[in-house]
Each structure stands twice: as C-alpha cells, then as structure tokens.
Chain A
Amino acid sequence: MITFENIDVVYPNGFKGLSNVNLQIDKGEFVAIVGLSGAGKSTLIRTVNGLVPFTSGTLKVGDEVVDPRSKAKLRRLRSRVGMIFQSFNLVTRVSVLNNVLVGRSAETPTWRSLLGWYRAEDKELAFKSLERVGIVDKAYMRASSLSGGQQQRVAIARVLAQDPEVILADEPVASLDPPTAHKVMRDLRRIQQELGITTIVNMHHLDLARSYADRIIGMRAGEVVFDGPVEEATDAVIEEVYQRSLTAEDIVAGDAAAESSAAGDAAARDSATEGAVTERSVPAAKAQD
C-alpha cells in the first residue's frame, strides 16, 4: 500500500511539481495516471522511489516511511520498487542478461557486481524474469540489437528481477507503435495480476488507460483532480481534467495488428512526437514559473 499525505514537491528552481497530493493506492492495484504534459505525472511517480524528493508531507510505501534524505534507506526502498521508463533506459552495449541483472544490484555485494560475478540464484531469477516476458532467447544478445518493444520488455524483466512490491512505469508505451504498446501493456497487466504487484502507470493515451487499469487518477498543474475507477472516467470527466475536448491524439490505434498498418504508423509517429513534446515541455514549463 502506498499512501501520500499532503505531499508537496517544489523543485530547486522554485517550480511547484506537486501540490498537496493525498492518495492511497492499495496493494495489487493497477493505477493509470493521466494528464497533459507538465501536469505532474512523472513527478508523482518519481516521488514514490525518491528519484524526485518531496519537500513536505508524508509518503509511505508499505509500512516504510520514505525519507528522501537517507541514501541507504532510499536504496533499500528502491530495491522493492521497480521502475520502467519511456526510453527504456537499458545499457545498450551490454547483454540483455546483464541488463536484467542490474535489477539484482541492491541484493548483490558490490564486489560481485564490479566483477560481474553474480550468484547462481540471481542469474536464475534473471532468466525466470526473461521467461516471464517471453524473450529469454535473447539473453546473450546486446540490448541495442533489440526492437523497441523487446527493449521495453527487457526493462520489465529487469524490474521483475528485483522481485518488487511496486512497479512504476513512466510513459512505458509512449515511444512504441500501437500494436507493441498494447503488447507491453498486456504484459504489465498480466504480471500485475499473476504476481499481485501494485502497478502505477503514467499514460498519454486514454484508451490504453481505460482498457488496462483498474483505477484512473487525473492530474492537472500538480494536483490530483480526478480519482476513481475506470467506469467513472468518462469522456466528460477526462475533458474536465484536460481542460479541453478529447482529440484523436488521446487514443492509440486499436489492438488488432491486422488493422491498416498505415494508420498504425501514423499513430505511432503521433505518439512518438507527443512523447518528445512531453520531455521538452517539462523544463519549459519549469522555466515559465
């Protein structure tokens, strides 16, 4: 269970990332966070594992109170909270297996890490994680030789190797084409259901959020403006969150891979540019304040 109590995040440059966020996310829930670029989705997700330190309030993951100032505590927390990213963030020059084994870092003595001499049970866990996402055959290939969807699944395997209680996913499918996006979302959903891992996903695409999540949290300007089950997140509600009417950009093309590939490509390009815009507009938003 994750509890946010009056969480504020003020960045060093004075930009207010989150203001007075109160949330309670139960164990095993699949939560999608929606909102426009710069609404604070990434900030919210990153406060959970301390990548962005919150400046006031109380944050609890399980029974443990998150303390952004203690490095040792943060490392311990991060070993229980896995995270996947929009740009996969794999080390592309090393093998898939070594990327997954990075997930074992917190449990591995430093000297073993430095020599790359992982324990047999850690390797076994890494292989099991790769099997769970269906790419164990790529274990010894360089990560750079994999396609985007495969790389994201390696990232999921890395998170699974941590044996986490919580998975955070920051726009996990924003740089993938629609069929792959659905595939990765299905993987996440299946893992959440099989292993009972609490999963929090930032989303750009409303239809993906609706079809895979249990619960949707809407954010605007650093505040939670909607929080409810998927059924309640009607178009009208989301338009209220976005403060604009919904457009074709808010949905990803359908699941069926057989659908006209041209349309799919276009949507993929759209989502890719959209993702790029997100990345760039966040500092821009900060600068404005």
Chain B
Amino acid sequence: MSTRKINAGPGSASRPESRPESSPEPRFAPDALDRRPVRPSRLGYNAGMLVVGILFIAAIYGTGMDVRALLDLPASIIQYGRLMASGVFQIPDETVAGYWSQSFDAMFESVAIAWVGTMVGALFSLPLGFMAARNMSPLPIYVVVRFVLSVIRAVPEIIFAIAIMLPLFGFGSGGGGALAGAMALGVSSIGTLSKLISEAIEAVDGGPLESSRASGSNHLQLIRWAVLPQVMPEVIAIWLYRFEVNIRASAILGVLGAGGIGSLLSTVFGARDWDRIGIVLVVIILVTMVVDQISAFIRHRVIHGARIRNGGGAPQEDDDDGGAPTPGPVSGASVEDDPAPKSTRAAAGL
C-alpha cells in the first residue's frame, strides 16, 4: 500500500506543495524508480505502420499511377462540374424536360429492378437462413447450405449478370435486360441475406424455444411461434437494407446492359454529353437518397417501434387491474407488483 502512495504520479515527489510538511519521512523512497513498470516495446506497432506505408507506396508505383494528376484535380472538377451544372441548371425547354423525365423513368426502372431482385432474394433467403442456422438444422443440411451460400457470396453480382443472366434473358432496357438484372441481384442477394438471417436466428433467446419444446411443439411449430416472432423485425430490416444496396447495384448493372439508369448513363457517357450526364447523376443521387431515407425510417420503426410504443404509450399494466392507476413513473424493471385490494384478489380467485 505504501509503495502505491509513493508511485502516486510522475513528478509528484518533486512538487514541494504536494508534500505534507508534517510528515517526517521522505515521500520518495530511493528504490521507487525500480518498481515502476518498464515502458512496453512498441516495435511491433511501429513495424506494422511502416509495412502499411511501404505497401501503399509500392501499390502506387507498381500500378504506374501518375500521382501528379491529382494536382490537376481541382481544375478538372471545376471544368466538368461547370459542364454538368450547365445541364442541370438550365431553364428546361421541351428537350431538356424530356431529358429529365427520361432520366427519372430510367431511374425508376432501376429501382423496380432492385425491388424485384430483393423480393426474389427475400423469398429464398428465409428458408435458406433457417437451413444455415446451426441451432435450427441438422449438421449435413447446415454444412451444404453454408457452402452453397458462401459460393454465391463469392461471386459478385456483376459476374452473375454478365456470365449468366444477360446471356439467358437478353440485353437492353425494358424486358430482357431488366429481368436479367433483377435475377442477378436476386441470386446474389440470397447469399448475403441468408447468411445474415441465419446469424439472427442463431442469436435468438433460447427460453421461448425451450418452453415451446416443453409444451410438445414440433420443429415447424417451434419455428413459427418461438423463432419467427423473435427474428422477424431483424429480418425485415435486413431485407430493406439489401434493397438499398441493390438500388446502387442495379444502376451499375445497367451500364453492362441490364436496363435502367445505367443504360442511359452509358449512352450519354458514350456521347460525352456532359449536361445530360449531370442530369442523370442528379436524378440518381436524388432518388437514391429519398429511397434510402424511406427505407431507413421503416427499418427504424420495425426494430425500435415496439419499444417506443411500450415505453411511451401504454404504461405497464397494474397487476390484477384493481382499477387504481399506478402513480408515478413506470419503472423499467419487469418485476413489479401492487398491493392489490383484498376484494379484487378475492374476485380473481386468489
């Protein structure tokens, strides 16, 4: 204990005002310095930082990047920004209004592709999620489904679109390309959605499962009444989040010929039509942001909605409902009871 006091802090001994004048013994024992811990080596950390820096520089030179181009960046931003802004901010005559509505139509096609893809993914991901959850499915099914899902996840949706879906369903906006895009998004959504859902299922509270099992439920009944009610809000949030991701992905797939805003973007890019490019970009950003906001709002409601309703709206009910409302703030703890009047207890048959 005494050594702790001596080691109170660096420099504490040299500060005369901190030394109590009445105490005769010196606060600084001669061997105190020996007892201080040695500063741990930072060699590993420093070496790590060095390696990261070397890799960064090596990557730049290895790929032949011309870093000096960055110096021209501000100028080009202004140049192209002005070109695009001139398209966005011009008073829309008939042609320009046509550009705008064409962009919105194409963007809504992209959103529709993303929605169909998400629905396909959602439909398959729920059963697959259960099969990929260790606490819900037998080991052989679990291993096989996990493996298939990880293969799906390893293939980017762009590859699905180029290599499988576009050759199958055809290119171009409206029709084949859109279907191909939706299917590519759907299949690749299955991979991530099922994984996330299976993790949500593995994290459920085991209590309701045990009680459900104890009342003689079979496996499907257990899933329906003990697991699904617990995971559904999270599952819906996962689906919606994937929808947000799919909107961006479907814009990219369009560039490859899957229809939607991407097709339009690649057309106007081919023509170096900068004012139209500006319009397309504004539409993409605008619509994506709006859909993101709506989706995020719904996700938040789905996950936190119940708690808000319980905390604010309906206070915890009084036991036996004796008629007298509980005074004062409602305690958060779930263990609470009231001294119910004898009469109501008798009425309740207690």
Contact = CB atoms under 8 A, between A and B. Distances in A.
Interface stretch (B27-35, B54-62, B181-189, B314-322): B314-322
B337 A102 contact: no
Given A145-B310, A258-B339, A180 B319 contact: yes
A150 to B, nearest CB: 6
B225 A91 contact: yes
A257 B336 CA distance: 12
A152 to B, nearest CB: 10
B224 interface: yes
Interface stretch (B203-211, B236-244, B288-296): B203-211
A148 interface: yes
Contacts of A159: 215
B211 A90 contact: yes
A147 B337 contact: yes
Contact of A75 (B218, B220, B225, B321): B218
Contacts of B226: 91, 102
Contacts of B229: 91, 93-94
Contact of A148 (B224, B317, B321, B336): B336
A41 interface: no
Contacts of B75: none
B43 interface: no
Contacts of B41: none
Contacts of B217: 75, 102, 105-106, 113
A93 B302 CA distance: 12
Interface stretch (A183-191, A200-208, A226-234): A183-191
Contact of A158 (B215, B233, B317, B336): B215
Contact of B220 (A78, A110, A162, A179): A110
Contact of B211 (A79, A102, A141): A102
A75 B216 contact: yes
Contacts of A79: 215-216
Contacts of A98: 225
Nearest to B233: A93
B186 to A, nearest CB: 25
B335 A272 contact: yes
Contacts of B316: 145-147
Given A134-B348, A144-B306, A51 B336 contact: no
Nearest to B321: A137
A91 B334 contact: no
B102 interface: no
B312 to A, nearest CB: 12
A155 B215 CA distance: 11
Interface string B317-337: 101110000000000001111
A114 B350 contact: no
B335 A83 contact: no
Interface string B333-350: 011111110000000111
Contacts of A90: 208, 211
A114 B348 CA distance: 33
Nearest to B331: A147
B213 interface: yes
Given A89-B208, A113-B220, A190 B225 contact: no
Given A103-B215, A162-B216, A147 B230 contact: no
Interface residues of B, number: 38
B221 A179 contact: no
A83 B214 contact: yes
B202 to A, nearest CB: 17
Nearest to B232: A93
A147 B310 contact: no
B216 A91 contact: no
A268 interface: yes
A238 interface: no
Interface string A168-200: 100000011101100100110010000000000
B218 A105 contact: yes
B335 A147 contact: yes
B319 A155 contact: no
A102 B335 contact: no
A190 B349 contact: yes
B7 interface: no
Residue among A51, A77, A113, A177 with max Cβ neighbours from chain B (10 Å): A113
Contacts of B339: 179, 257-258
A64 to B, nearest CB: 14
A210 interface: no
Interface in B241-265: none
Interface of A: 49, 51, 75-79, 81-85, 87-94, 98, 102-103, 105-106, 108, 110, 113-114, 116, 132, 134, 137-138, 141-142, 144-151, 155, 158-159, 162, 168, 175-177, 179-180, 183, 186-187, 190, 257-258, 268, 272
18 contacts: A49-B214, A78-B215, A84-B211, A85-B207, A88-B207, A91-B229, A105-B215, A113-B217, A113-B221, A116-B224, A132-B349, A146-B316, A147-B337, A148-B334, A148-B336, A149-B336, A149-B337, A183-B319
Interface of B: 207-208, 210-218, 220-221, 224-226, 229-230, 232-233, 306, 310, 314, 316-317, 319-321, 334-340, 348-350
